[in-house]
Amino acid sequence: MGRHQLAPILLLGIATAASVGGPACAAGPGAGRPNILLLVSDDQRPDTIRALGNPVIATPTFDRLVGDGTAFTRAVCSYPLCYPSRAEILTGTTVFRNGVYDRGRLDATAATLPALLLRAGYRTCHVGKWHVAGKPRDRGYETVEGMYAQCGPAGPPRFDERAREITGYRGWTFCDADCKALPGHASGLTRDISAAFADAAIRFIGAAKSAGRPFFLHVNFTAPHDPLMLPGGFEGRYEPGGMPMPRNFLPEHAFDHGNLRGRDEALWPWPRTESDVREELALYYAVITHLDAQVGRIFEALDASGELGRTVVIYTSDNGLAIGSHGLRGKQNMYEHSIGVPLLLRGPGIRAGVRSATPCHLRDLFPTICELAKVPVPPGLAATSLAPLLQGEGGPVRDFVVGYFRDSQRMIRTERWKLIRYPLAGREQLFDLRSDPDEMADLSADPGLAGILDGLRGDLAAWLTENGDPLTSRR
């Protein structure tokens, strides 16, 4: 992948516990298994890590991880929307199978990763954003810290840093394990919310060592989702005038891709302007740099507790974001800036200093974590473990990845080619990612590429049929 492509996935390795010192896990349930720390951000573009080619943003924690680990540069979230993407991570299955497709709710009977780890002897804890139907304990989390959910009144209108009325995270606040609002907390996002989630994770880590069991700690941040609230001390950190414009910036998208008037797109007026993009990027980068610092605090707590060397640490996001690319603001599209995700993982036995262009999905984390945790992988997943690649024992996982959004978008991407189909708009796009990583030249009408186009159509249709896409059954 070229340095300007926007779909890096990073899996980061550290030395084994023996090489950094410290005893193995105490005897008892889960003895000998590593801790698992899964950190998930919200709406983070995959090109927002300095060490991966972004010279403007400051991300020292992520840079450290990139330098220590294995980088997979071709990962996707499959469904670029918060709840469906997180449901695929939790279940290792597609939205077509787990009940979440097109505004659905996660099937109450769906097996989840935390429930599996809990049965294997892990102490499971959820921190931060709860965006799944039901309550954490119904999904396998033994405890919660600093849980944040839509459990309060929307309250009076509020406005963001650019004087726009806030529509994101209205009615969200900190709550208890029963999703009941806790007193003394503001409704909606606040400037220091990433620090509050880090505080909660650090509290859990401080208490976990005495539990005598390995832990699975799942931390869901809200950053850098809108509304973008400037963290304290970050005033002037990034000046709009210094923000480089995306090379694929457009004032407007060429057609209705299926969400052209959705909430995310309505945050900006049409046509999009350079000032819209530069001002948003300055805030967006500040929120990510603050988030990076909070992840750094969690690492420091792990190190101080003596648990870092025996902990698999994964950092990812549920989806990316457009912020002016292709004339869009939101994430509900199949372009690399939105369907691509960052993912950082480090842990015992994982190779360091390696990058791979192997295509992979976020839901591949389910079997990957199982294997790293020495827990049997359950049958019926629509996912493939990356553990052999991480440990230098395997080759490519698959030939292509697939994406989807409601009834309006379907995508297939190989190492070189990407086909996007728009069933409702009756359109297609074909991109040569090798020569056009920013997806600016649609080649779908090129007669010389008809064979490639037909092959991609066939592979996409076969995969969607096999995996239960409702659209295939309606034809």
- pLDDT at position 31, please? 65
Contact (CB, 8 A) for 289 and 319: no
Residue 207 C-alpha from the chain's centroid? 27
Angle (deg, nearest 10), helices 365-372 and 82-91 = 40
- pLDDT at position 57, please? 97
Contact (CB, 8 A) for 167 and 263: yes
Query: Where along the chain do its domains lie?
Result: 9-399
Q: CATH number of the domain at 9-399, please?
A: 3.40.720.10
* d(C-alpha 258, C-alpha 265), whole Å: 11
Q: In what order do the strands lie in the sheet with 401-405?
A: 401-405, 409-413, 417-422, 427-432
Which residue numbers in the chain have pLDDT < 50?
1-27
- pLDDT at position 74, please? 85
- pTM, whole model, 2 decimals? 0.91
- pLDDT at position 280, please? 96
- pLDDT at position 8, please? 29
